[in-house]
Amino acid sequence: MTTDRCAAAHPEDPTPCVGPHDAVTVLDRSNRGMGGCEHHAARLLASLEGGRVVSAPDHPGAAIRVHKAADTTRPFAWVTDAPRTEPGQLSAAENRAAAQAGDNLSADELPPPFTFRDAYSRAPEMPAETHDVLRLQVTSGDYAAPQEEVREYLLRYAALADRVAEESGDADDQEKAERTGRALLDHDREHGIWRGVYPPGHAIWTHRGPRAYTRQEYITWHRSTA
Q: What is the pLDDT at residue 2?
A: 45
CB neighbours (10 Å) of residue 50? 12
Q: How far is residue 160's CA from residue 73's CA, in Å, rounded to a whole number?
A: 35
Q: How far is residue 83's CA from residue 85's CA, in Å, rounded to a whole number?
A: 6
Q: How far is residue 17's CA from residue 31's CA, in Å, rounded to a whole number?
A: 23
Q: What is the pLDDT at residue 106?
A: 56
Q: What is the pLDDT at residue 184?
A: 96
Q: Which residues are bridge partners to 36 per DSSP? A: 24
CA distances to 65, 96, 204, 207, 216 from 197, rounded to whole Å, are 26, 9, 11, 16, 8
> What predicted TM-score, i.e. pTM, was given to this entire model?
0.56
Q: What is the pLDDT at residue 88?
A: 75
The series of mean pLDDT values per 10 residues for the chain, 226 residues long, is 80 95 94 95 93 95 96 93 75 76 57 83 94 90 77 96 95 96 92 85 85 94 82
DSSP 138-195: HHHTTTTS-HHHHHHHHHHHHHHHHHHHHHH--HHHHHHHHHHHHHHHHHHHHHT---
Q: What is the pLDDT at residue 89?
A: 81
Q: What is the pLDDT at residue 178?
A: 97
Q: What is the pLDDT at residue 224?
A: 81
